[in-house]
Structure 1
Amino acid sequence: MRISGSVALVTGANRGLGRHFTRELLERGAAKVYATARDPERIDLPGVERLRLDVTDPRSVEAAAVAAPDVNLLINNAGINTWTNLIDGDLNRIRLELETHLYGPLGMARAFAPVLAGNGGGAILNVLSAMSWFSYDGANAYGVGKAAGWSLTNGIRLELAAQGTLVTGLHLGLADTDMSADFEGDKIDPAVVARLALDGVEAGKLEVVADEWSAQVKASLAADPSAFYAIPAAG
């Protein structure tokens, strides 16, 4: 998969990591970039094809596949964090997390699989998270959504292999975007994340772990979970 000369579609391209993906694609010589958002008028990068898309709306997803029949690189970036827990959180907000992080990328993969096949196979990049691998009290719905997205990525990779489509998962901790603006601590430059992710796609990698924090979280999965979670004793 070569970025130069490719035709890419980026979901959630109006801000944050999606905007950096779009810019990086243009700088690497992509022939065309479909920059999508629920409100495409908010996309301010020149040189892109703006396209209205709501990944939680199946009709919008199908319309995007019709409008972009030349795509050979799909970047499922659109995301949301409702800061909702599972036991006492609003079920509608929990469902929105799953609609955005599971059913949205699934719908995009289903709609664009024949498009990618017709254009030589191409690639899908799913933006996941270090929270695919751990939970955080206060954002457990996000963790569930990203864990489901990780499993989705592994599953569609197997199903699309026969048509020559590469499926790559991207994991990262905090990026310096508006989604993490209220958090203190080290944050990775989103431009670096976009660059590493596209390097990984070009190298044919199945997974890109963008920062040391994410690598440490992944490594912890092989250990006793008590070493990662400090859970207070009841009573």
Structure 2
Amino acid sequence: MELKGAVVLVTGANRGIGAEFVRLLKQRGAGRIYAAARDVTSIEADGVEPIRLDVTDRDQIEAAARRAGDVQILINNAGISTGTALVTGDEAGIRREMETNFYGPLLLTRAFAPILRANGGGAVLNVVSALSWFSTPVGGAYAASKAAQWMLTDSTRLELAAQGTHVVGVHMGLVDTDMSKSLQAPKIHPAELAGAGLDAIESGAQEVLADDWAKFVKSGLQLDPKERYERIFAALGGN
């Protein structure tokens, strides 16, 4: 699908990866960009249409769909990480991650699927994570929500194929954003990730492995769990 002239909605568009999606969409000639965030005053990009949108709020999702009836591309970027473990962590934190990282993209896709169909099929891009394929002792909630989002991406790709909607999943390790600022490890720039996602929309690719870590983790999925996690933790330096 060609980005030039396209109408795009980006969630979590006020900073980090979302802000880079907006910037690169402008560079590539998108016709209209709806920049969605919980606080529209935090959206600093010029030439966009801000939309107040908390992806956990059904009413706001429905309002966004009514307002942005010309959307051809939906970019589900908004997400959170609370660092919550599944067994000992706070249940509210676990539910918050699932509401944001899984139900948010799900409800947005459901709301915009008829709009995409009416506008020629279009595309949905989900910013997922290499943590959809492995976990850590303290990051179970995030990994579970991203694993669910990975299957959401696969399932909606199948369900929306008949209406001609192209569904892309973008996986990566660490990105240099506020979410990962406390972690000391190799990181890619948000523009690198956003650019790879937009390339996939234009080329028709269904899955993006945006960095070496995503490629490494996925390459081990055929291993049994013990061997797979020994391999991952060795690469992480034994942590």
TM-score range with shorter-chain normalisation?
Answer: over 0.9
Percent of counterpart pairs with the same letter?
A: 55
Tell me how large the CA RMSD over aligned residues is.
0.9
Matched position secondary structure for 1:229: helix
Equivalences for residues 184-195 of structure 1 within 5 A:
184-195=184-195
Q: Which moved more, 1:220-229 or 1:62-71?
A: 220-229
**Mapped partners of 1:142, 1:3: distance in 2:** 31
**Mapped partners of 1:117, 1:103: distance in 2:** 21
**Mapped partners of 2:114, 2:211: distance in 1:** 33
**Mapped partners of 1:25, 1:121: distance in 2:** 19
Hey, what does 2:199 align to over in structure 1? 199
Hey, what does 1:84 align to over in structure 2? 84
Hey, what does 2:35 align to over in structure 1? 35
Deviations along 1:103-145, whole A, 9 cap, x unmatched?
1101000000010001000000000000000001211100000
**Mapped partners of 2:39, 2:141: distance in 1:** 25
Shift of 1:166: 0.2
Q: Which aligned runs of 4 or more in structure 1 are off by greater than 4 angstroms?
A: none
Equivalences for residues 29-178 of structure 1 within 5 A:
29-178=29-178
Shift of 1:228: 2.9
Matched position secondary structure for 2:75: strand
**Mapped partners of 2:97, 2:48: distance in 1:** 28
Shift of 1:161: 0.4
1:12 maps to 2:12: yes
Count of residue pairs the alignment pairs up:
231
Hey, what does 1:215 align to over in structure 2? 215
Deviations along 1:156-194, whole A, 9 cap, x unmatched?
110100000000000011001111000111101111111
**Mapped partners of 1:157, 1:224: distance in 2:** 27
Shift of 1:229: 1.9
**Mapped partners of 1:215, 1:140: distance in 2:** 21
Matched position secondary structure for 2:169: strand
Write the letter of the residue equivalent to 1:227: E
Matched position secondary structure for 2:8: strand
Matched position secondary structure for 1:101: helix
Matched position secondary structure for 2:167: strand
Matched position secondary structure for 2:229: coil
Shift of 1:227: 2.2
Matched position secondary structure for 2:168: strand
**Mapped partners of 2:8, 2:192: distance in 1:** 19
Hey, what does 2:26 align to over in structure 1? 26
**Mapped partners of 2:198, 2:140: distance in 1:** 29
